[in-house]
Chain A
Amino acid sequence: AQTVTQSQPEMSVQEAETVTLSCTYDTSESDYYLFWYKQPPSRQMILVIRQEAYKQQNATENRFSVNFQKAAKSFSLKISDSQLGDAAMYFCAYTRSGGWPNNNDMRFGAGTRLTVKP
């Protein structure tokens, strides 16, 4: 079974600084998708960034970027120029690509709570 591990329960960053959140996963699949979701206090799940495993280029979305290391099964999230609004719970998630419609459930890590200090 696929598992997702986030080893940092909590992280903090100074406003305007850069922080990296770690994520590792375990899978025997060669094609899959990886995601970072943000969950603010409202608990709404917000997609931050996504990565397709067959693409070697790391995804970027404005201040958010990932470091995808397929061989190491690592998928870290870098937040640059951190803002107070970035404070939230961040979840790393995995879902396989093939086998539709079955076996496409998303597996989540335990989450990292990010605090942004002014």
Chain B
Amino acid sequence: SQTIHQWPATLVQPVGSPLSLECTVEGTSNPNLYWYRQAAGRGLQLLFYSVGIGQISSEVPQNLSASRPQDRQFILSSKKLLLSDSGFYLCAGYTRLDRGKGYTFGSGTRLTVV
């Protein structure tokens, strides 16, 4: 079964600084990968998903971007952080074989923009 690794677990960044969150997958190949954001006490908002290397679909136009340079690597970036980018970021993976079994989630990154 697959494992999703995310780091860092916690991040405090000043407004206007760049951001790079990394998600890596272990135990499977060619997964669909997803970035979600969760505001405090709220649900999960889909930001980006990728079905393969270099293939990125954006759900919400915003200050963030995503890239998939390798099959098992998914990166969330920003050139200049805004206060509104604060939140809890979750990476998730999903494979064809796991359809119906639900996503595998990473442990998340808590981002605070100050």
Chain A interfacial positions (CB closer than 8 Å to B) = 6, 33, 35, 37, 42-45, 47, 50, 52, 91, 93, 97, 100-102, 104-111, 113
Bound complex: CA A93 to CA B38 (Å): 14
Contacts known (A33-B100, A106-B34); A44 close to B43, Cβ less than 8 A:
no
Quick check: B42 and A97 within 8 Å, CB to CB? no
Residue of B nearest to A92 (CB): B43
* A52 partner residues in chain B, CB cutoff 8 A: 100
Q: How large is the interface on B (under 10, 10 to 19, 20 to 34, 35 or more residues)?
A: 20 to 34
Contacts known (A43-B88, A101-B32, A101-B51); A108 close to B43, Cβ less than 8 A:
yes
Bound complex: CA A93 to CA B102 (Å): 9
Closest-CB distance, A19 to chain B (whole angstroms): 19
Out of B43, B90, B96, B99, name the residue touching A109 (CB < 8 Å).
B43
Bound complex: CA A104 to CA B31 (Å): 12
Bound complex: CA A97 to CA B59 (Å): 19
- Looking at B20-28, B63-71, B72-80, B103-111, the stretch in contact with chain A turns out to be B103-111
Quick check: B99 and A97 within 8 Å, CB to CB? yes
Contacts known (A33-B100, A44-B107, A45-B90); A108 close to B32, Cβ less than 8 A:
no
Quick check: A105 and B88 within 8 Å, CB to CB? no
